[in-house]
Amino acid sequence: MIGLLRVSQKRRRYDRAQDIPGFAGLPGTEISACLDEVMALGLVARDHGRYTIVDWSVERVVEHLALAAAILSLSAYQIAGHSADADFGRLERINSALSALDPSDPANLLAGAYLDYQFHLETVRLSGNRTALTAFARSIPPAAWIAGANHFELDEALSSIAEHERLIHYMRQGDAMRARDAAAFHLEDAIAGIRQAGMDRLENYPALTA
């Protein structure tokens, strides 16, 4: 994944999957599995039988996170409205998994980004709003979080755990306005950080291994 995100010529088209950077030399079955994974994550797109590495620029990440913030805020508000019937167990398990990551291990940056994406997707699912869930799942792939993670140190990214806990607390208490505002602030703060890091050209992807 890191290799794909670092490819400079993102708009180039590849006729065969094995021509995609990092795929050469892999067995056919492994190429197929890897291709399915990176396409599901939103890192590679297929159009008319040809493949393109998606250009997750700072601007593209910010646009997707802004949409996510709007959907998440609505979802948090709706969850608080039926908090007595909501099961927060999965959200809490995802947050626990985030807490267990070792911030000193750079390899955990992408794992943390994916878990953070799952937290937000689960929040939208928990709202019971099928339209919001469909919009989120179809329009905002995990790649928005994975690419955004490039602009955070892992310990900074893990600071979102406390914000998650605050959001769960407000939703569980049925405080719809505070839940909505906490959800909006959570992603708006991330957007501001990514914008600034982009301006400063700060990147934190872990080093590629041979």
What mean pLDDT is predicted for residues 118-127? 97
C-alpha–C-alpha distance, residues 23 and 35, integer Å? 9
194, 65 contact by CB (below 8 A): yes
**More confident position, 108 or 60:** 60
**More confident position, 105 or 202:** 105
Tally of CA atoms within 13 A in the half-sphere of 196 that contains its CB: 7
145, 114 contact by CB (below 8 A): yes
Quick check: 201 pLDDT over 80? no
CATH 1.20.120.530 fits 58-200, yes or no: yes
What kind and span of H or E run contains 14? strand 13-14
Quick check: 204 pLDDT over 60? no
Quick check: 205 pLDDT over 90? no
Enter the DSSP assignment of 13.
Answer: E
**More confident position, 122 or 149:** 122
What mean pLDDT is predicted for residues 115-121? 95
**More confident position, 170 or 189:** 170
pLDDT in tens, 21-58: 888 778 878 888 989 999 999 999 998 889 998 988 88
**More confident position, 66 or 18:** 66
C-alpha dihedral sign at 105, 106, 110, 112: positive
Predicted local distance difference test score (pLDDT) of residue 167: 97
Range(s) within the chain of domains with CATH label 1.20.120.530: 58-200
- Among 158, 164, 203, which Cα is nearest to 61's? 203
33, 116 contact by CB (below 8 A): no
> Tokens standing for 141?
């792939």
C-alpha–C-alpha distance, residues 162 and 168, integer Å? 10
**What are the φ/ψ torsions at residue 13 (nearest 5 degrees)?**
-100, 145
pLDDT in tens, 161-176: 899 999 999 999 999 9
186, 167 contact by CB (below 8 A): yes
> Tokens standing for 205?
């992807």
% of the chain residues with pLDDT over 70 = 86
> Tokens standing for 32?
């197929």
Q: Categorize the per-residue pLDDT at 66 as very low, low, confident or very high, splitting at 50, 70 and 90.
A: very high
